[in-house]
Amino acid sequence: MRMMFQELPEYLFELKNKVVFFNGDYSPEMSDLKLQDLEIKQSRTDAINLLHFNQESQIHEMAVSVVVRSGCKAIINEIHFSIDHHSEHHSLTQILVENGAKLTHHQVIAPYQGKKNHKAHVEVFEQGQYQSVLLDMGGNDIRVEETIELKGPHANNQIDGLIRLKNQERSEHIIQVNHLAPETTSQQKYKTMVDNESRAHFTGKIYIAKVAQKSDSALMNKNLLLAKKSHVLSLPQLEIFADDVKCSHGSTTGQLNQEELFYLEARGIPKQQAQEMLLSGYSSEIINKITDADLLKILTPLSRTHL
């Protein structure tokens, strides 16, 4: 295991407060936090890092559970990483955000080799807040399924997602937000960039139960096609059983704006670089939502090519 460990990207090991899962198992020798630390009983300002490494040509499964107790605040960075393209990894992250608690959850799928199937199941109780930023930097077979249940009055969910694919990469994101209590709110924004022959699928479902009166929900999916053979399938869906709610959803798919591109080029910036600038401008709206400086620092080298 030690030898393999050497091959893992060093920048991830610079992170403090980490819980490491290696090929599907909790690895105490690489972690500096214990699994029990994922029950948050006291607010903490420094982030907890969950690192999922996969490095073997095998199928691995694992589940991790995070609880943020009443009134507590926490930041969790969850990073998925694999360097074996024959590997297959199934992960489940279960999250409870209790009354009045707040969890900021940054989820990163670093450029991923192999198959990844990730599920997040989140329950948010009265006045609880779940804020998530999800970055998918691409892989050959990625599927992320998130279910968020707003179970107490005034519970809130906010997700900002960014997906960037190239070559023949495939990625599917399914998000379901269930409003199950009155006056719950949620905002979901997913931005996608697909280049070459890559394909992204997005399904966003908002369910508002009959009891969830005065709930407010917005779902937006914006897609940029960067090549003729790139492809996006976007399916926003609403199921509303309460009659007094605010709910909006939308989906747009387009190409890089040619006038913006020409403007940069007319200032001497070569086309390729001008495109990169526009793309990083496009992603910055999502990346700027990341509140953890250490995470931003390790993302910087990756973001130049993958975000």
Q: Residues interacting with other proteins, by CB under 8 A? A: 258-260, 262-271, 273-274, 277-278, 280-285
Comparing CB distances to other proteins, the nearer of 167 and 273 is: 273
- We find the least distance from the C-beta atom of residue 259 to other proteins, in angstroms, to be 5
- Quickly count: other Cβ atoms within 10 Å of residue 146's Cβ: 23
- Quickly count: other Cβ atoms within 10 Å of residue 131's Cβ: 19
Alpha carbons 267 and 42: distance in angstroms, whole number: 52
Comparing CB distances to other proteins, the nearer of 206 and 286 is: 286
- We find the least distance from the C-beta atom of residue 275 to other proteins, in angstroms, to be 12
Let me know: does 124 contact 130? Beta carbons within 8 Å: yes
Comparing CB distances to other proteins, the nearer of 42 and 258 is: 258
48 token code pair: 């907890």
Let me know: does 254 contact 225? Beta carbons within 8 Å: yes
- We find the least distance from the C-beta atom of residue 289 to other proteins, in angstroms, to be 13
- We find the least distance from the C-beta atom of residue 12 to other proteins, in angstroms, to be 27
279 token code pair: 């793309």
- Candidates 233, 176, 184; CA nearest to 205 is 176
Comparing CB distances to other proteins, the nearer of 43 and 300 is: 300
- We find the least distance from the C-beta atom of residue 175 to other proteins, in angstroms, to be 23
Q: How many residues does the chain have?
A: 307
Alpha carbons 218 and 249: distance in angstroms, whole number: 6
Alpha carbons 59 and 72: distance in angstroms, whole number: 36
Comparing CB distances to other proteins, the nearer of 184 and 283 is: 283
- We find the least distance from the C-beta atom of residue 272 to other proteins, in angstroms, to be 10
Comparing CB distances to other proteins, the nearer of 45 and 272 is: 272
Let me know: does 85 contact 140? Beta carbons within 8 Å: yes
